[in-house]
Structures are given as C-alpha cells and as structure tokens.
C-alpha cells in the first residue's frame, strides 16, 4: 500500500477533511451528543463539548501517522461546519484490508451524503492507497447503513448472529465488502 494519510477529498457537494480542535462545538452539536445518531455505534454519547474536544485532540494527534485515515464530512460551501465522520477503523496491511466506520448528523440522513462520502473514501483507498478489500459492518437493526454500503457497490457477505455489541446491546452484524477487482 502507498499510504497518504488523511488528505482532503472532495465530491460534487462535499469536502472530507482533517479535524481541527475548532470543530469541537459542531461535532458535539451535530452528532456526538445525539443518542439517536450513536444508537448503533460503540462509543457513548458525549456529555459535553469538553469531552468532544478531548477526543478530537487524540484524533488530531494520530494524523502524524501516514496510515491514519479519518475525515470530518462537511459541505463544500460550509467547510468549517462538519456534519459527519468517516474513518478507517481497522487496517490490516498484511492482507490489504481497510474496515470503514461512519456516522452522520440526523439532520442530513436520507440525502445521499453518507453514500457520497463512502464512495469518495473507497475510491481513494482503492485508487491511491492501493487497498485490495474494503469492508464494513452494521447492526442488522440499522438497515439504512446496509443501504449505504450496497449503494457504494459493497456485497453482503453474511450475517453473524450475536457477534457484536453496540449501544443497543448484543447484536447481529451484517458484513459487507468490495474488492478492488469487483469495481
């Protein structure tokens, strides 16, 4: 793989960029404090903006690693107001796999924003970084996440019963993937 680190990606509507500490208020307000957004995620709802700021500082520190891929999602015309998050949450260099995780402010659900973001990240990882397999999973009760994955060309590879835990408890997980050669 040819690691680039988190570089700015753009689509027709969006800019995917590195986080800054100045994003803390927007991240907290737009999704991190919303129990509905984090319902199917593994981290707790943020209780205050200081918690968000502390987490952002950790993420920002990881940008020094060229194999770190973590973007704030914003509209091009309001790049300083992130509305979501997308990241490689696990990278296996030996077999060239990137596992993606994402979330989006509830205000922007069902508008194609996450599909547009995931597609941009997948294209970058396949075409620039040289990843062979991109995968993601979701709690089966969160079918909208599966729709995002399918829209981006990922194939449902199976469902593992009682295989994960999120903020809803023990859950069945649906696994999706796309290989570079599937495109």
- State the total domains in the chain: 1
Question: Is 173 inside any structural domain?
Answer: no
In a domain, residue 47? The reply is yes
Beta strands 70-75 and 84-92 are: antiparallel
Query: What are the residues whose beta carbons fall under 8 Å from the beta carbon of 85, sequence distance 6 or more?
Result: 27, 31, 70, 71, 72, 73, 102, 103, 104
> Would you state the pLDDT for residue 56?
98
Q: What is the pLDDT of residue 47?
A: 97
Looking at residue 141, its pLDDT comes to: 97
Q: In this predicted structure, what is the pLDDT of residue 162?
A: 97
pTM (two decimals)? 0.96
Please state, in angstroms and rounded to a whole number, the distance separating the CA atoms of residues 121 and 100. Answer: 9
Q: Is residue 143 part of a domain?
A: no
What's the pLDDT score for residue 116?
98
CA–CA dist 45, 85 (Å, integer): 15
Tens digits of residue pLDDT in 10-49:
999 999 999 999 999 999 999 999 999 999 999 999 999 9
Q: Of 27, 151, 147, 156, nearest to 81 (Cα)?
A: 27
pLDDT in tens, 131-171: 999 999 999 999 999 999 999 999 999 999 999 999 999 99
pLDDT band at residue 9 using 50, 70 and 90 as cut-offs: very high
Read off the pLDDT of residues 74-125 as tens digits, 9 standing for 90 and up: 999 999 999 999 999 999 999 999 999 999 999 999 999 999 999 999 999 9
**Has residue 122 been placed in a domain?**
yes
Does any domain span residue 16?
yes
CATH code for the domain of 48: 3.40.630.30
Residue 152 lies in a domain: no
4 within domain boundaries: no
Helix axes 143-151, 113-124, angle to 10 degrees: 50
pLDDT computed for residue 32 by the predictor: 98
The boundaries of the domain holding residue 71 are: 9-134
Look at residue 145 and tell me if it is in a domain: no
């Amino acid at each position: 793989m040819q690691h680039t680190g988190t570089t700015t990606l753009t689509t027709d509507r969006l800019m995917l960029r590195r986080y800054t500490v100045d994003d803390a208020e927007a991240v907290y307000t737009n999704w991190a404090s919303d129990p509905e957004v984090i319902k199917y995620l593994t981290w707790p709802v943020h209780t205050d903006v200081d918690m968000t700021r502390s987490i952002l500082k950790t993420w920002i520190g990881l940008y020094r690693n060229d194999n770190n891929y973590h973007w704030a999602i914003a509209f091009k015309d309001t790049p300083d107001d992130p509305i979501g998050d997308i990241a490689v949450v696990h990278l296996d260099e030996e077999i060239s796999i990137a596992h993606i995780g994402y979330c989006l402010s509830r205000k922007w659900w069902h508008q194609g924003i996450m599909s547009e973001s995931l597609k941009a990240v997948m294209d970058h990882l396949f075409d620039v970084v040289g990843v062979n397999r991109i995968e993601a999973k979701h709690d089966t009760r969160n079918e909208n996440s599966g729709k995002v994955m399918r829209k981006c060309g990922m194939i449902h590879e199976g469902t593992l019963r009682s295989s994960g835990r999120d903020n809803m408890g023990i859950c069945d997980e649906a696994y999706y993937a796309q290989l570079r050669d599937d495109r």
